[in-house]
Amino acid sequence: MSEITEFERRITAALERIGAGLERLERIDPDRPDPAELEGLREALEIERSTNAQLNDRVKAIRERQETQVARLDRRAHEMTERAEALEAEVERLRAVNARLRETSAALRAANAEGLGDPVAIDAAMMAELAALEALRAGDRAELEAIIADLRPLAEGGAHA
């Protein structure tokens, strides 16, 4: 971008010099300017204007690409944040379920050690284990969805990705 700014500054300075040269020619002899020199100055002015227009087009194209890239990166960051939050929620759920499973298993072991086959404790242990398996499956599903979301653009883009 600093090169483009420098080019624009140089072009503006050249245009000012050309304009000053034309004014000087008119002041020296407004009735008889040198046609060849005047034509050369006009050609130089036209070249500078063309170069300036090309540079402006390049600056505009660069700015548009930059804005597109920033928008794409913002969208990607937002998606990754959402995925990370979903995975974090699943991990927390899995931790809670595993804590309940440990408590229930400890109670079941204590009941078995005393020789008491407590059907309520067995049922609670089975429910806790089932909940742990469901939480583990949900965590795996969330992780797979994140992987698929990362791979989808590559698959859809083919060689361009």
Rounded-to-integer distance, Cα 101 and Cα 103, Å: 5
CA dihedral over 87, 92, 93, 99, signed as positive or negative:
positive
Residue listed under structure tokens 């010099």: 17
Number of domains in the chain: 1
Question: Where does residue 97 rank: exposed (0-12), middle (13-18), buried (19+ CB within 10 A)?
Answer: buried
Look at the pTM and tell me if it is higher than 0.85. Answer: no
List the structure tokens of 66: 């930059």
- Considering only residues 52 and 156, tell me which one the structure prediction assigns the higher pLDDT: 52
Residue 6 clears pLDDT 80, i.e. is over it? yes
Residue 33 clears pLDDT 70, i.e. is over it? no
Residue among 140, 76, 128, 78 at smallest CA distance from 100: 128
Of 11-25, 52-66, 72-86, 92-106, highest mean pLDDT: 52-66
Mean pLDDT of the chain: 80
Q: Which domain holds residue 16?
A: 2-160
Terminal-residue alpha carbon distance, the chain: 27
pLDDT of 85 reads: 86
